[in-house]
Amino acid sequence: KAPTPYFLEMLTHQATYPVSKASIDKLGADWIKPGNLVSNGPFTLAEWVPNDHIKLIKNPKFWDAASVKLD
């Protein structure tokens, strides 16, 4: 209804990140589990133990995978 000067800042919140609708339609609540989560980032979800830890591994399909320096 009116200009929102903080709109771009709001887009940095994880609630606005894109998700794969096809994965959610196919897998329901399991879309977020390791092996199902679709990502375009430098890491992919390998393990998730709620209230304990999250393990990420390098995403070999990341467009600039050779430049990812974290192990």
pLDDT in tens, 19-43: 889 999 999 999 988 988 887 889 9
Asked whether residue 37 is domain-assigned, the answer is yes
The confidence band for 70, taking pLDDT boundaries of 50, 70 and 90, is confident
Asked whether residue 21 is domain-assigned, the answer is yes
Asked whether residue 30 is domain-assigned, the answer is yes
Domain that holds residue 63: 7-67
Closest CA to 34 of 47, 18, 21: 47
How close are the terminal C-alpha atoms of the chain, in Å?
Answer: 46
Domain count, the chain: 1
Which residues contact residue 59 at a Cβ distance below 8 angstroms, ignoring those fewer than 6 apart?
Answer: 39, 41, 42, 43, 44, 65, 68
Asked whether residue 53 is domain-assigned, the answer is yes
Asked whether residue 2 is domain-assigned, the answer is no
More confident residue, 55 or 14: 55
pTM above 0.85, yes or no: no
**Residue 56 scores a pLDDT above 90:** yes
Asked whether residue 1 is domain-assigned, the answer is no
